Amino acid sequence: MRILITAGPTREYLDDVRYLSNASSGRMGYALAADAVAKGHEVVLVTGAVDITPPNGCDVRSVQTTDEMRNACEAAFPECDGVIAAAAVCDYKPLHRVTGKIAKTGGPITIEMIETDDVLAGLGRQKRNRWIVGFALEASNSRENALQKLRAKNCDVVVLNDPSAIGSLTNSVELIDATGQPIESWKGTKEKVAQALICWIEKHLSPRN
């Protein structure tokens, strides 16, 4: 298979030196990419800025902002069999980016925020015969929120985890299908979880099956 994998955080710039982001390390997405390549698949890795080296054998496309990630994914997806969306994409961005550097004023400032474009929902709209595996990081009402994400973004399944996964070497996940219930659960190092997920995709979503 040819698999599109997203990894790492996106950044939304307030000015030319400051940005909003999150603590995603990219380890989960990179572990998925490494295992997919090891199993003989072609991988397009669309990655935000992280401090780890991409796995050998990937077609790496580096991005920073959510718009850049959306554009890179929409360019790659038509030539792929499916996508694993493990990136931690910013949900909001400043309405206006300031040129230069915002100066101190001695008082508070207000920054108006708007929602970013939804990268995964955009891929879901052009899904056709491809498969989509989303990731949902939820702190409460987790399975209900994961099911809502699955439906809204046209996913086949969603990998549900919690905020403890951010920046961690390990992960504990449930694989949620259209019933809203877990059909698989895996825990351990992110490499171990990646191996289990890629095996599941090969068995259940591969065009050969």
Q: Which residues are catalytic?
A: 22
Measured CA to CA, the distance from residue 132 to residue 120 in angstroms comes to 9
Helices (H) and strands (E) in the chain, counts: 5, 12
Measured CA to CA, the distance from residue 68 to residue 56 in angstroms comes to 23
Of residues 29, 36, 150, the one with CA closest to residue 88: 29
**Count of other CB atoms within 10 angstroms of residue 7:** 29
